[in-house]
Chains A and B, each alone.
Chain A
Amino acid sequence: DTTVKQNPRYKLARVGKPVNLICSQTMNHDTMYWYQKKPNQAPKLLLFYYDKILNREADTFEKFQSSRPNNSFCSLYIGSAGLEYSAMYLCASGYEQYFGPGTRLTVL
């Protein structure tokens, strides 16, 4: 089973409010990734875990937080959502990067 699950599938948030997105996988993968995908743009890596080590991209370092309390679970946290955060957020796990279905975040 190569299923990666994401919750919620759709999220509506107000500007300035926090957002927490969830990803889980049961494949015991060491690596988990979060991408931001906007229409007509390439998926943009936000951060990734290798085991418990978090690596955040330099240009999004302050905008996104994450936690990985166990190997199966990973969250993406936005402390104060802005309009520019509206996008699809994709979680992936494993070196081959199996992707979840995504969470569509709309910030109003």
Chain B
Amino acid sequence: GEKVEQHESTLSVREGDSAVINCTYTDTASSYFPWYKQEAGKSLHFVIDIRSNVDRKQSQRLTVLLDKKAKRFSLHITATQPEDSAIYFCAASMVNSGGSNYKLTFGKGTLLTVTP
């Protein structure tokens, strides 16, 4: 089955700097790559995703890059703020022939700390 590896278990940046979290996956059939944020004491919250038909997607300060050849995707956060501090999980999934039924495989998470 699919395996997702999240390379940084912890990441510390200064407020205003950029943060990059990297993930790799093993199954070439995976085509959907979401990211989730878990703040202290809270559940997972969807932040951004990318599908395999594009290699870049941006939403405000978040950008996701996808390199299908390397089976690698990354989350870039610019102008970090203390409220960006959280655990970030990457995930990968195949999409079935009907275009649905996402069955996600998660990475172990990266604890991002943004210091003022």
Q: Max chain B CB contacts within 10 Å: which of A31, A96, A97? A: A97
Q: Contact at B43–A48, with CB atoms within 8 Å?
A: no
B103 touches A40 (CB 8 A): no
Q: Digitize A48-67: 1 where CB-to-B-CB distance is under 8 Å, 0 elsewhere.
A: 10100001000000000000
Interface residues on chain A, number (Cβ under 8 Å)? 21
Bits for A38-51, please: 1 = Cβ < 8 Å to B, else 0: 00111111001010
* Minimum distance in angstroms from B97 CB to a CB of chain A: 13
How many interface residues does B have (CB within 8 Å)? Answer: 21
A30 to B44, CA, bound (A): 20
**CB of B42 closer than 8 Å to a CB of A:** yes
The closest CB in chain B to the CB of A53 belongs to B101
Q: Which residue of A lies closest to B32 (CB)?
A: A95
Measured CB to CB, the closest approach of chain A to B27, in angstroms, equals: 14
Name B87's closest neighbour in chain A (CB-CB): A40
Chain A contacts with B in 54-108, Cβ cutoff 8 A: 55, 90, 92, 95-102
Query: A51: shortest Cβ distance to chain B, in Å?
Result: 10
Set A42, A55, A97: member contacting B46, Cβ < 8 A: A97
Q: Please state if A43 and B44 are interface contacts (CB–CB under 8 Å).
A: yes
Q: B residues touching A (Cβ–Cβ < 8 Å)?
A: 4, 6, 34, 36, 42-46, 49, 89, 100-109
Residues of A within 8 A of B (CB): 30-31, 40-45, 48, 50, 55, 90, 92, 95-102
